[in-house]
Structure 1
């Protein structure tokens, strides 16, 4: 079995790790921080939680296609609600 090393566990790193694993690779994922997710992670302090990056959910079809490639549905993992207004 071939081994693939993935450096960084942001959205792209996690996605390529999934694709490589499905293709039969043994995947080793390396992350310098203590949690996965990169800029999509969370920061907590004094009882408050903050997004580390974008809060917008753009191009939901990309996420739906990714999940479906692995035989899953986004709705099994999270619910997305459209906000009005979406931003100001």
Structure 2
């Protein structure tokens, strides 16, 4: 787990319902990801949380057997909510 909070956008092929669910399941299993958004039409997956970006991309690649391309990576000041 990283001490930095990131927002990352990746491009992945989301061809069918099975692909969508495979990606979603893989994201839900990663506990350091706080939020995710899967945009089917744009073929994009956005995640945010305190994680190591390369590790998330590698895990997603291995679990889904899909090519992962990091489009955007932003480091954000994380505000702890009560």
The two structures share one fold, judged by TM-score above 0.5: no
Q: Which of the two has greater strand per residue?
A: 2
Q: Which protein is bigger by CA-based radius of gyration?
A: 1
* TM-score of the pair, normalised by structure 2: 0.29
Between the two structures, name the one with larger relative contact order (CA 8 Å, sep ≥ 6): 2
